[in-house]
Structures are given as structure tokens and as C-alpha cells.
Amino acid sequence: MGSMGSDVLSLRIDRCLLDRIRRHAAKRGMSVQDYVVRTLVRDDFDERFKAAVDETEKFYG
């Protein structure tokens, strides 16, 4: 995985989407930043897990 340092990501986001993200984060007692990072990490894990399952199925299937 890369280094464990951190970088800054700046992006433009639709105000309605940001409001929804703020509500989701608040429900979980999280900052918007923590909520977004957690969501991205989970999505990345899901993609890598699916790729591993697909490879396993190809190998055994």
C-alpha cells in the first residue's frame, strides 16, 4: 500500500450532496472528513475483495 503519511485532497462537491454527507456523518458522530475517508476505504476494500474472489473462482472454476 503506499506510505502511511497523509496528503490533502481538495474537491468541488454539490451542496446537496455535501449536506447529505454531513447528515450521515453526524448520525455516526463523525466528522465529514472521517466519514468520507471511511467510505472510500470501505469501497476500496470491497473492490479488492471482489477481485480476489473473482480470481479464486477462475482458479477453481
Q: 26-52 burial by CB neighbour count: b if 16+ within 10 A, else e? A: eeeeeeeeebbeeeeeeeeeeeeeeee
pLDDT, tens digit, 9 for 90 and up, residues 5-41: 889 989 899 999 999 999 999 999 999 999 999 999 9
Residue 2 pLDDT level (bands cut at 50, 70, 90): low
Alpha-carbon gap, residue 4 to 31, rounded angstroms: 20
pLDDT digits (tens, 9 = 90+) for 39-57: 999 998 888 889 999 999 9
